[in-house]
């Protein structure tokens, strides 16, 4: 009983910070562990304390907002994190139904639940879920969301339930200029909706995806699929919906969800019985419908103690802070390091050594420190004055800190060599970071051009370089001399010039000599090349003209040769947007082989837009401009024709 009381107090304090103050002090995964411990104790003791958070669906309305009573109660969802629990759920449904049931599957959006009421086709009000029966009236705030319809065709009364979200694209754009950066998109949307000033809400550029008709005054919808169709007919934005009678198929879909491809945060998938008549038969508990369950993904976010910050030097001379963490388990790995963007990022996030910080890990990327969770009175982080690698005096440019010693700073030199040899550049086989270090230390390689003058008798001295590896390396170096112009431009490592800009430059100018002699105005006329990138290009070639001449002496001076191509896409300018059935880079390469030009932006001169799942603003702009739209299926057929 003492432990139950302790857990109730802890969880209620966490909930207050999360739901009321919009200032979470613990990660969702840590909250869930304590919540599950409490529910297990309640089951074993056979009682629930009066103030237990397990009695609640959500936080109570804050006093600053007028209360709104929902026409029909908004329920929470039961959850699981094990596929066997999904199978057990399926068995219960089949037993009640006397056979197989049809299910729908949807993303479990990680934002803030909202309920919008329309009367006689006009938007009347919006509210949070609150305790399920009464929420907070946030009409003025929700009115700032551009995607919600001001009016709908349906003339009765309807409550449409959805999830307010802040897309990753909007989150990243906001944080680039915000004085107080957001910890994550979920925190961003919650804070925006519960802000008393709608102007603050509008700056977050929120969105909302709808998934439920909570109430309608006349007529009955037969299924969840029909509900989504109804919402779409009323011009509400909805998410993706799968439909099947096989739980194994649902499990397979869940296994293959790639969260990194989505522009919004999800923390699971929701399984629902499709048939509303069967739902009525199954009924509800006090908190949950018995006909739905949420499968929760393993957390990508947690919190731990920041022990120290060290500074790493990259190939451009920019110093990046790396946080040394108290080791913590996340996404099946032990995490002991996490990145911050720059010193300005440290200041904006108010990160201190010794503080507790939120960290996020997606796929196999090094985790990022999102912000401070709890200030334990640690030490402020001071910017370095000298380069930790070469001792040169540093300089600041905007929010970044740079080492100016580009010709004598080992990490810069090694970084440029590794980038030059990478697959997206000259594609030289066998050049790992370990190999680069040996090339620098043992063979005195100081320039990327030095690679082309290495000899077999030198390579023998390198660890791990047996005859076969030496032969493969030298053959790969020789083959790289025939690299095309876009790869060569990318390999040079011009600041702010990546794969897309490199290809645009190659297509526009055709040779390195032409790019070197291009005026500023000519450069900014190229799509995707703005003032800053143009300045980077002109500055690079002023400093490195001798390197280009050395490449010419080595026989490396590629010119651009466009694929003539044939078929439907030949000569067309194409934009890819949304999720399609192959990697975007692979699709772009296939299009170029068919003679198409691939652009990142929708403009008047674009001919075709290939729109996959979750296509956003690019698709909307293409529709406004009247461009030809092709879906994933049609694209696959045409590209293989």
Q: Is residue 559 a part of any domain in this protein?
A: no
Answer yes or no: is pLDDT of 207 > 80.
yes
Q: What is the pLDDT of residues 83-116, one digit of tens each?
A: 999 999 999 999 999 999 999 999 999 999 999 9
pLDDT value for 187 = 85
Q: Is residue 352 a part of any domain in this protein?
A: yes
Residue 632 CA to residue 139 CA, distance in Å, equals 38
Domain identity same for 25 and 130: no
Domain identity same for 37 and 168: no
90 near 246, Cβ under 8 Å? no
Q: Is residue 26 a part of any domain in this protein?
A: yes
Instruction: Mention every residue, 6+ apart, whose C-beta is less than 8 A from residue 362.
Output: 259, 260, 300
Total number of domains constituting the chain: 6
What's this model's pTM, rounded to 2 decimal places? 0.62
Measured CA distances, 509 to 409, 505, 523, 563 (Å): 33, 6, 9, 16
C-alpha angle 493-499-503 in degrees, rounded to nearest 5:
110
Mean local confidence (pLDDT), 323-330:
91
Out of 296, 316, 351, a domain closes at 296
Q: CATH no. for residue 26?
A: 1.10.287.610
Among the ranges given (112-126, 190-204, 401-415), the one the predictor scored with the smallest mean pLDDT? 190-204
Q: What is the pLDDT of residues 238-265, one digit of tens each?
A: 999 999 999 999 999 999 998 888 999 9
Structure tokens at 11: 């969880």
269 near 105, Cβ under 8 Å? yes
Tell me which residue range forms the domain holding 520: 485-553
Q: What is the pLDDT of residues 357-379, one digit of tens each?
A: 989 876 556 788 888 888 887 78
Residue 640 CA to residue 636 CA, distance in Å, equals 6
Domain identity same for 590 and 539: no
Mean local confidence (pLDDT), 576-604:
83
Longest dimension (CA), the chain: 86
Residues annotated as catalytic (active site), given as ranges:
108
pLDDT value for 55 = 66
Domain identity same for 518 and 589: no
Domain identity same for 473 and 585: no
Q: CATH no. for residue 157?
A: 3.30.470.30
Residue 566 CA to residue 568 CA, distance in Å, equals 7
């Amino acid at each position: 009983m003492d432990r139950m009381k302790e857990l109730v107090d802890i969880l209620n304090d966490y909930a207050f910070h999360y739901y009321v103050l919009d200032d979470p002090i613990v990660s969702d995964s840590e909250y869930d562990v304590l919540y599950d411990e409490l529910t297990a104790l309640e089951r074993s003791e056979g009682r629930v304390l009066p103030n237990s958070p397990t009695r609640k669906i959500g936080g109570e309305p804050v006093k600053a907002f007028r209360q709104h009573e929902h026409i029909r109660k908004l329920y929470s969802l039961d959850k699981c994190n094990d596929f066997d629990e999904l199978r057990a759920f399926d068995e219960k449904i089949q037993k009640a139904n006397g056979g197989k049931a049809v299910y729908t599957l949807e993303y479990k959006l990680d934002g803030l639940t909202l309920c919008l009421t329309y009367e006689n086709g006009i938007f009347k009000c919006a509210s949070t879920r609150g305790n399920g029966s009464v929420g907070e009236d946030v009409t003025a705030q929700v009115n700032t969301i551009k995607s919600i319809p001001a009016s709908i065709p349906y003339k009765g009364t309807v409550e449409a339930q959805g999830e307010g979200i802040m897309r990753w694209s909007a989150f990243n754009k906001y944080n680039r200029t915000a004085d107080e950066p957001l910890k994550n998109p979920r925190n961003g949307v919650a804070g925006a909706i519960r802000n008393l000033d709608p102007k603050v809400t509008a700056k977050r550029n929120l969105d909302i995806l709808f998934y439920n008709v909570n109430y309608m005054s006349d007529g009955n919808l037969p299924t969840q699929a029909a509900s989504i169709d109804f919402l779409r007919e009323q011009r509400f934005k909805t998410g993706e919906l799968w439909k099947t009678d096989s739980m194994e198929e649902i499990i397979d879909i869940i296994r293959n969800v790639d969260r990194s491809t989505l522009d919004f945060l999800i923390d699971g998938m929701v399984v629902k019985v499709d048939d509303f008549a069967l739902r009525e038969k199954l009924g509800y508990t006090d908190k949950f419908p018995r006909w739905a369950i949420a499968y929760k993904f393993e957390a990508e976010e947690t919190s731990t103690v920041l022990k120290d910050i060290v500074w790493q030097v990259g190939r451009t001379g920019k110093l990046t802070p790396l946080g040394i963490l108290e080791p913590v388990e996340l996404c099946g790995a032990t995490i002991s390091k996490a990145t911050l963007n720059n010193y300005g990022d440290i200041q904006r996030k108010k990160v201190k050594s010794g503080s507790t910080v939120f960290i996020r890990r997606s796929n196999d990327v090094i985790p990022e420190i999102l912000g401070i969770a709890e200030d334990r009175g640690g030490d402020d982080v001071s910017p370095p004055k000298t380069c930790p690698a070469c001792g040169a005096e540093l300089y600041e440019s905007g929010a970044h800190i740079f080492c100016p010693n580009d010709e004598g700073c080992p990490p810069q030199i090694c970084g440029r060599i590794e980038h030059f040899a990478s697959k997206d550049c000259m594609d030289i086989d066998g050049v790992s970071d370990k190999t680069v270090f040996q090339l620098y230390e043992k063979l005195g390689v100081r320039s990327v051009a030095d690679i082309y003058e290495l000899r077999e008798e030198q390579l023998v001295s390198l660890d791990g370089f047996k005859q076969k590896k030496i032969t493969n390396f030298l053959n790969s170096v020789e083959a790289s001399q025939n690299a095309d112009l876009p790869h060569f431009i990318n390999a040079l490592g011009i600041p702010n010039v990546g794969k897309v800009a490199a290809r645009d430059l190659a297509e526009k100018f055709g040779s390195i000599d032409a790019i070197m002699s291009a005026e500023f105005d000519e450069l900014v006329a190229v799509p995707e090349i703005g003032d800053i990138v143009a300045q980077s290009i002109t500055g690079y070639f002023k400093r490195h003209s001798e390197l280009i001449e050395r490449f010419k002496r080595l026989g490396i001076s590629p010119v651009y040769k466009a694929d003539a191509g044939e078929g439907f896409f030949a000569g067309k300018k194409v934009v890819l947007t949304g999720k399609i059935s192959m990697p975007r880079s692979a699709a772009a390469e296939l299009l170029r082989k068919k003679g198409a030009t691939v652009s990142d932006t929708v403009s008047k001169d674009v001919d075709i837009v290939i729109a996959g799942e979750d296509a956003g603003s690019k698709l909307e702009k293409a529709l406004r401009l009247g461009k030809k739209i092709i879906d994933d299926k049609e694209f696959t057929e045409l590209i293989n024709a």
